[in-house]
Amino acid sequence: MQDFSVQTVLLLVLSVCVLIAIRITIQFRTAVANIQNHPGYRVLLNPASVLGSISPEIRGIALGRSNQIRNKHGHFSRAGWDIISAVSVYPKVQTEFFLADAAAIKEVTSSRYRFPKPVHQYSLLLFFGANIVASEGEEWKRFRKIAASAFSDRNNRLVWDETSLIMFDMFNNTWGGQKEIVVDHCVDITLQVSLSRPKLLGTIKIYFPGVGFGRKISWRDDQAIPIGHRMTFKEALHIVSTDMILRLIVPEWAMGLTTRLRNVRVAFEELEKYMSDLIQDRKTKEKTELRYDLFSSLLDANDDQGLSEGEAKLSTRELFGNIFIFQLAGHETTAHTLCFAFALLALYPDEQDALFLHIKQLLPDDRLPTYDEMPLFTYSIAVFYETLRMFPPAPIVPKISSQDTILKSGNAAGEMTLIPIPKGAVVNMHIAGLHFNSRYWEDPHTFKPSRFLKDWPRDAFMPFSAGARACLGRKFFETEGIVILTMMISRYKIEVKDEPQFAAETFEEKKARILATKSGLTL
């Protein structure tokens, strides 16, 4: 009797498993048929799932997010179209598309209601509160209206002026006019610049330079932990930005089990305390000329005078969320973009020489460049743009189809095809694929800043996304990046240090080592 019961249970379990397998198989085959079996990938793991995003590329199992980025346009070339599909099974049957077609991407970014942002994929960024990146619809409109005032030309001028002073201070005080500076990793400098330089919303009252909060300090400041805190603002922000995923996946009770986890927990607590302090500090200060900085612009736009009748203010948590997202996005993207730029210039010394000569034509002495001169530094802009083309901070930007629709795709042979996009399908704008698509960019794998000194395909350049959801801080980001790049190259020549263990490297091997990437919150 007992054996019979066990067999019955096993048979029942097996039957249920078979039924589930049959149901999934039918759903999978239906999903493939719904897109007319458009070329692409059929895999087990959903690319946007936790397992799918961290898994390497395994045929039939996972696409491998990092590998998608490293392959750039390779996936599209193999499939024969600039839109490819991916149908996955786990955790549910899901249809996705990856777009490297400029016209199709323009249609997606221009149709915000047909292709809204899948905000559930951005839950990682909601630790401190709702924000402009992880929102959509009316909530996003409210955030954008209030935040937009912080990105005025007056504030961009302030960004340029204060950043140039930070660089001048680094050259003359921190480096003391040394003829040679050696660092293990270029990011050791660019991250320090990005955290010490004037920052849009994360410069903390008396601890950081003027663009954020109207207080100028030295590069060497912020070494001591302020009274009432357990780590500096820089340290807290850096830990939060690099170890955010741990805070998401590790349960609260386990956050004290290791030194690293304890530091992550403290960093989140400290960052929130810093933001609370700065909001309270600004609310209690009189409005003087020191209040004409970027963070104050956000608070002023959020007060009764800055809002229209009936508009709701940002709550404290919403202020926290937006302060955090602008600071995080700013320091991450600037630091790594500059690091890539310096690495590329070191690998291509002829391009570095051309940039240096152009800068010296405009700055024959060592005076500080001015904001009004920014448009004249065309080669600096070209180097910056070429770096962003090759290493876009957000290589893949997701949308979701809110209705059944159709997108048109082309290929290298000049052919066109219509692709059915079912309601609920994820539509990923593959920025890395677009930027390395030979339909738009000649010799796309070569570092050629000069391509940006003539007519270039603007619809095929999307490091800042496009449409209504394009990066609000683009000009801010460009302003500080270009002044840092210009001033660094005006004073120093950048080289890859010769080391014995790499003596036998070919150029391509050195290039691969120096430019190795990984996916985090940004590239």
Binding residues for heme, by number, are 471
In 3-state terms, what secondary structure has residue 424? coil
Task: Specify the amino acid at residue 438.
Answer: S
Residue indicated by tokens 């403290």: 266
DSSP of 303-348, one letter per residue?
Answer: STTTS-TTPPPPPHHHHHHHHHHHHHHHHHHHHHHHHHHHHHHHH-
Q: Which of 187, 257, 119 is nearest to 518 (CA)?
A: 187
296 vs 152: CA distance, rounded Å: 12
**Two tokens, residue 285:** 């200060």
271 vs 251: CA distance, rounded Å: 19
Q: Which of 339, 382, 434, 343 is nearest to 69 (CA)?
A: 434
Give 407's strand partners. Answer: 419
Give 418's strand partners. Answer: 408
Helix orientation angle between 233-249 and 259-284, rounded to the nearest 10 degrees: 120
In 3-state terms, what secondary structure has residue 43? strand
Pick left, alpha or beta for residue 40 (phi over 0 → left; psi -120 to 50 → alpha; otherwise beta). Answer: left
**Two tokens, residue 22:** 């049959």
277 vs 269: CA distance, rounded Å: 12
128 vs 112: CA distance, rounded Å: 26
Nearest-5° Cα angle at 379, 372 to 365:
60
> What residues contact 89, with CB distance under 8 A and at least 6 apart?
24, 28, 43, 44, 45, 46
Is the separation of the CB atoms in 171 and 198 below 8 Å? no
Is the separation of the CB atoms in 382 and 452 below 8 Å? yes
End-to-end Cα spacing for the chain: 62
Binding site residue list = 471
**197 CB-side CA count, 13 A:** 31
Q: What is the largest CA-CA distance in the chain?
A: 97
